[in-house]
Amino acid sequence: MIQWISRMLVPLIVSYIVGFGLLSRRPVFDDFLAGAKDGMQTVIGILPTLIGLMTAVGVLRASGFLDTLSGWLAVPAAWLHLPAPLIPLTLIRLISNSAATGLMLDIFSRYGPDSLLGMSASVMMSSTETVFYCISIYFGSVHITKTRYVLPGALLATAAGIAASIYFVFFTN
């Protein structure tokens, strides 16, 4: 039943939108073209930021700087009960979801998905956000330069997500 609903949901939503537009006597195709044109302008506006973020993550991973930084942060992370293999994941998760997913898959292949590290990485990925990516893309697309308390609030929420993932996996099992 759920698979049938999943297959039917997108065509039903598209049909509803087109039908509503036609009943409202709107030029549906012209509205679609205007929306696509605006969407392309947004893509052109955020593309340099996106390329810069992807390049930065690739450089961090390939240069070994991420491993070096993880080594430096191993002792403070141990005070916070953050296992050393999760340090790179916590750092990269702030920037890129796809790179963090790659690191999580590395943890899965090394320690197993059902290990405490694998489960903690899974919970961490679902309870944190790509803070710098979201701030740069969303605020950059509308040219907001003064983000006020967004960054501290987002980092605090991410720290809470990391702490919760460590607590729920390591201390409740």
- Written as tens digits, the pLDDT of the chain (173 aa) is 888 888 899 999 999 999 999 999 999 999 999 999 999 998 888 888 778 877 887 888 789 888 898 889 999 998 988 998 999 999 989 988 888 888 899 899 999 999 999 999 999 999 999 998 888 888 887 888 888 899 999 999 999 999 999 999 988 87
**Percent of the chain predicted with pLDDT > 90:** 54
CA distances to 108, 137, 151 from 148, in Å: 38, 16, 8
Tokens at residue 35, please? Answer: 């929306």
Q: What is the pLDDT of residue 147?
A: 84
Alpha helix segments (H runs only) across 24-149: 28-63, 65-72, 74-79, 87-93, 97-111, 116-127, 131-134, 140-141
Question: How many C-alpha atoms does 110 have within 13 Å on its Cβ side?
Answer: 10
**Measured in whole angstroms, how far is the alpha carbon of residue 133 from the centre of its chain?**
7
CA distances to 5, 16, 28, 31, 44 from 9, in Å: 6, 10, 20, 22, 30
Find out whether 92 and 66 touch, Cβ atoms under 8 Å: yes
Tokens at residue 38, please? Answer: 């605006």
Name residue 166's amino acid.
I
